[in-house]
Chains A and B, each alone.
Chain A
Amino acid sequence: MSSPFLHLCYRELRRILGDQRIYGLLLAGPFFYAFAFGGVYWEGRTKYVPIVIVDEDHSALSRDITRALQSSDSVSVAGWLNSPEEFLPLLRRERAYACVIFPPKFEHDVLDGRAPRVGALFDGSHVLIAATALGAIRNVVTSFQVAVNGIELSTAGVPRTEGRVLARPIQAVIRPVFNPTLNYSYFMLMCLVCVATQSVTRMSCGIALGLDSSEQIRRDTGNDSTPILWVFLSKVVGTAALVIPAAATAMWFVFVLFGAPNRGNALLIGLALSLFVIIQVCIAYGYYGLFQSPVLCTQFHMFTAVLFSILSGYTWPYYGMPEGLQFISMSIPVFNVISIVRRVSLMGAGPSLLTKYFLALLVWLLVAAAWGYWAVRKQMKLESAPCE
């Protein structure tokens, strides 16, 4: 009976490769998403956020701090203003996102020991940009704080080296592990390949099932009594045989082209991706079973794709969600595959540390297979002449 089954698998492959829309989505989708749009993370981190300076002091110290800001690659000085009121229109026109203000008598107050304030206005409506600008400005001001403090102590008679020590008695040495260069793209690109694979598989497989029928199967195979289980399995195997290599190659490119490190066993990543793809194929059939229309099932996917992306924890960590949603987030397949890929490649984790994620994928495999089988059965039964 293996020969008819292989024939069915071959038929599914031919059907996919014979439909431009489906094979375009399935094969090119992961690459398109990961690299055309993955390019947005190419820079690795946010740099050169435009800021403006309001220097009401015109002193050597205010110019020194401005020079320090200019030499930081996180911000770029877009210009000087006469007063902070001029900042708001610039902000609304996206010409500057932060404004640093040196009040009058700023240097004079420092020399007098009066602890003057460097003012800073930020665009809080874009948290990511504001955080970058805030970090850079805070770093520069803190460095000057230590320097001024050291000079002050040394003029008070404390030897220069001791003065520097006293100026900052507790030092934090922060060491980022697993991603020492703080490269945003390593993490994001891996997640993007998984999310893209999910999107294109769900869209194209729902359409593919909608375009098939028991009548066509009978015509293609010349067999009147093909078991529905075989039809379902052949569809899954035929589709997975195309999508798994495409997704694996896209993931491999993340390591080869974008230089993301792989500190673990690549086979584990391959296994997780394969399970994930099979689950997505079955879920896509399940969607079709619910809506019985390729259009509705594609539209439902379009509405839910962004929600699942956010729930997967790659744009917003699951720690930040309410507890009920944390459970949902940790239960969905894309969260588990992302967790495995991240832990293997960036953390070098072995199988013993990945058990719960693989278990979750296996549970999903069973649920999705039952759901997908139900959908294929429903589709075949709807046709005029049943297959069984």
Chain B
Amino acid sequence: MVMPIVFVLTIMLIYSHKKLTGLPALIVDQDHSRLSRELTRAILANETFSLAGYANSAADFRELAVQDRAHVCFIFRRGFESALLRGENARVDVLVDNSDYLVGGVETSNISTVLTSYSIGVNTLVVEAIHGIPEPSARRAAVPLDLGQRMLFNPAFNSNYLNFMVPAFSLVPLQLAALLATIRAGSSEYGGRSFQSALIENPWAIVSGKVLAYLVVLLPVLGVVLILPHWFSGAPFLADRLSFWIVLTWFATAMATLGYGLSAMTRDSLKATEACAVLTLPNFLLSGVTWPILAMPKLMWPLAFGFPMNCAGVMIKKITVMGGSLADCGKQIVVLAAWSVIALLCAWRGTRQVLDAARNGTAPNV
């Protein structure tokens, strides 16, 4: 009960900055002009960058990058401003440390944003000066096409990872808690041979009774785990509440049944835990959170879409973040139904084995 909440609180803390800021930028200003200084100010005014220092040449950048003291280097070569005044293109050279692809990607996108805005500003002035037209018209001429972008479902999108990563990672402890709670308790139950005689002939009654007992404890905790990011960090939660609880209960039931089934079949909580590790550890890589499923080779798609955590994650995202309902989750419903059948078969088979052993008078293999 404690681990899922600790897990999700830690994840929320990790992503609490929501985006990457303050990446150290090295400035090599060989022009020492008003334009290069203005552009430097514009770059540093963007919260993505902070000043790592000034250098005389770009040769210093590699060493500083290796020491983690600079991630990007802006170079204003001599004659930068005068080229612009002569009506030629002025070029800013930018070196980006791309050995960490995540940081490199954010830097490249922000460099383009700053320099494009500045370029438009300069363009406006040039058009205004050449044509002698007023500033608003000159601005329109400088930006003939405007891209009006709107992010759906993540309204604060400005590389806001908190709204995206935290809800996705919350599924990890949810799955682990449902699987592992039943795995330990299931095998220790067999160790004590405490099956009730009234239920002994009915495997389904044993399975449903046991799983239900765990769900009573698990469901409130799991519900809290999924709602915590919304309470504490304002992650969107547009849920159709009924659909949300149906998916959560269904997923938790399937996983608790699977955990119990593995426990009953192996009658050894260590073996059952290892079997769960095979199922849960790859989930993190294949969940599409750290790397989109779209970008994986097509051969991996069935595996990525087929993991129970992934299909439950997509369903919960559609319901809580996109404001959808179960009607939008056709594929995921099929996958979760398949996992539910597998879990029930495991639980039934495991329980039958133990009942047969009890009937034949042989002690369960504990």
Query: Chain A: residues with CB nearer than 8 A to chain B?
Result: 21, 33, 36-37, 39-43, 45-49, 88-89, 91-94, 110, 113-132, 134-135, 137-138, 141-142, 144-145, 148-149, 152-153, 156, 158, 162, 165-180, 182-184, 186-188, 192, 199, 203, 207, 294-295, 298-299, 302-303, 305-307, 309-311, 313, 315-317, 319-322, 325, 339, 342-343, 346-347, 349, 353
Task: Please name all residues of chain B whose beta carbon is closer than 8 Å to the beta carbon of A319 when the two chains form the complex.
Answer: 20-23, 103
B168-201 near A? 1/0 per residue, CB < 8 Å:
0100110010001000100000000000000000
Q: Are A131 and B3 in contact (CB under 8 A)?
A: no
Q: Are B14 and A141 in contact (CB under 8 A)?
A: no
> Of the candidates B98, B122, B148, B154, which one forms a contact with A119 in the assembled complex, judged by CB atoms under 8 Å apart?
B148
Q: Are A40 and B67 in contact (CB under 8 A)?
A: no
Given the interface pairs A122-B150, A173-B91, A178-B98, the reply to whether A127 lies near B159 with Cβ below 8 Å is yes
Task: Please name all residues of chain A whose beta carbon is closer than 8 Å to the beta carbon of B100 when the two chains form the complex.
Answer: 187, 313, 317, 342
Task: Please name all residues of chain B whose beta carbon is closer than 8 Å to the beta carbon of A342 when the two chains form the complex.
Answer: 99-100
B318 at the interface (CB under 8 A from A): yes
- Interface size of B by CB at 8 A reads 118
CA distance A124 to B231 in the complex (A): 20
Task: Please name all residues of chain A whose beta carbon is closer than 8 Å to the beta carbon of B102 when the two chains form the complex.
Answer: 315-317
The interface residues of chain A, by DSSP majority, are classed as helix
B225 to chain A, nearest CB (A): 12
Q: Are B276 and A302 in contact (CB under 8 A)?
A: yes
With CB as the reference atom, state the residue of chain B lying closest to A143.
B145
Closest 9 CB pairs of A and B: A124-B154, A124-B151, A176-B98, A178-B99, A346-B99, A179-B98, A92-B328, A46-B295, A125-B153
Given the interface pairs A124-B153, A188-B291, the reply to whether A149 lies near B67 with Cβ below 8 Å is no
Q: Are B270 and A294 in contact (CB under 8 A)?
A: yes
CA distance A303 to B270 in the complex (A): 15
Given the interface pairs A166-B87, A342-B99, the reply to whether A320 lies near B119 with Cβ below 8 Å is no
CA distance A135 to B109 in the complex (A): 8
Q: Are A145 and B145 in contact (CB under 8 A)?
A: yes
Task: Please name all residues of chain B whose beta carbon is closer than 8 Å to the beta carbon of A307 when the two chains form the complex.
Answer: 7, 10-11
B267 to chain A, nearest CB (A): 13
User: Which residues in chain B, 112-168, are within 8 Å of chain A measured between CB atoms?
Assistant: 112, 115-116, 118-119, 122-123, 126-127, 130-131, 137, 140-155, 157, 159-161, 163-165
CA distance A127 to B295 in the complex (A): 14
B16 at the interface (CB under 8 A from A): yes
> Of the candidates B15, B122, B161, which one forms a contact with A170 in the assembled complex, judged by CB atoms under 8 Å apart?
B122
CA distance A346 to B88 in the complex (A): 36
B87-109 near A? 1/0 per residue, CB < 8 Å:
11111111111111111110011
Task: Please name all residues of chain B whose beta carbon is closer than 8 Å to the beta carbon of A138 when the two chains form the complex.
Answer: 112, 147, 149
B97 to chain A, nearest CB (A): 6
With CB as the reference atom, state the residue of chain B lying closest to A138.
B147
Q: Are A45 and B67 in contact (CB under 8 A)?
A: no
Task: Please name all residues of chain B whose beta carbon is closer than 8 Å to the beta carbon of A171 when the two chains form the complex.
Answer: 89-92, 119
CA distance A137 to B147 in the complex (A): 9
Count chain A CB atoms within 10 A of each CB in B67, B100, B299 and give the residue with the most. B100
CA distance A145 to B270 in the complex (A): 62
Q: Are A115 and B145 in contact (CB under 8 A)?
A: yes
Task: Please name all residues of chain B whose beta carbon is closer than 8 Å to the beta carbon of A207 when the two chains form the complex.
Answer: 270
B334 at the interface (CB under 8 A from A): no
Q: Are B104 and A322 in contact (CB under 8 A)?
A: no
Q: Are A176 and B104 in contact (CB under 8 A)?
A: yes
Q: Are A110 and B145 in contact (CB under 8 A)?
A: yes
Q: Are B176 and A303 in contact (CB under 8 A)?
A: yes
Query: Chain B: residues with CB nearer than 8 A to chain A?
Result: 3, 7, 10-11, 13-17, 19-23, 39, 61-63, 65-68, 84, 87-105, 108-109, 111-112, 115-116, 118-119, 122-123, 126-127, 130-131, 137, 140-155, 157, 159-161, 163-165, 169, 172-173, 176, 180, 184, 269-271, 273-274, 276-277, 280-282, 284-286, 288, 290-292, 294-297, 299-300, 304, 314, 317-318, 321-322, 324, 328, 330
In the assembled complex, 6 residue pairs joining A and B whose CB atoms fall closer than 8 Å, in A order, are: A92-B322, A118-B147, A170-B91, A188-B101, A306-B172, A319-B23
With CB as the reference atom, state the residue of chain A lying closest to B139.
A115
CA distance A186 to B330 in the complex (A): 36
With CB as the reference atom, state the residue of chain B lying closest to A173.
B93
CA distance A169 to B184 in the complex (A): 67
CA distance A298 to B149 in the complex (A): 47
Q: Are A298 and B277 in contact (CB under 8 A)?
A: yes
CA distance A113 to B144 in the complex (A): 7
With CB as the reference atom, state the residue of chain A lying closest to B282.
A37
With CB as the reference atom, state the residue of chain B lying closest to A172.
B115
**Extra 20 A-B pairs, beta carbons < 8 Å, given A39-B297, A46-B295, A94-B314:** A40-B304, A42-B296, A46-B292, A91-B322, A92-B328, A121-B150, A122-B152, A124-B164, A125-B152, A128-B291, A130-B157, A138-B149, A141-B145, A169-B90, A171-B91, A174-B94, A302-B273, A305-B284, A316-B102, A317-B20
Task: Please name all residues of chain B whose beta carbon is closer than 8 Å to the beta carbon of A343 when the two chains form the complex.
Answer: 66, 99
Q: Are A48 and B63 in contact (CB under 8 A)?
A: no
Q: Are A178 and B97 in contact (CB under 8 A)?
A: yes
With CB as the reference atom, state the residue of chain A lying closest to B184.
A295
B311 to chain A, nearest CB (A): 12
Given the interface pairs A172-B111, A175-B95, A177-B96, the reply to whether A123 lies near B116 with Cβ below 8 Å is no
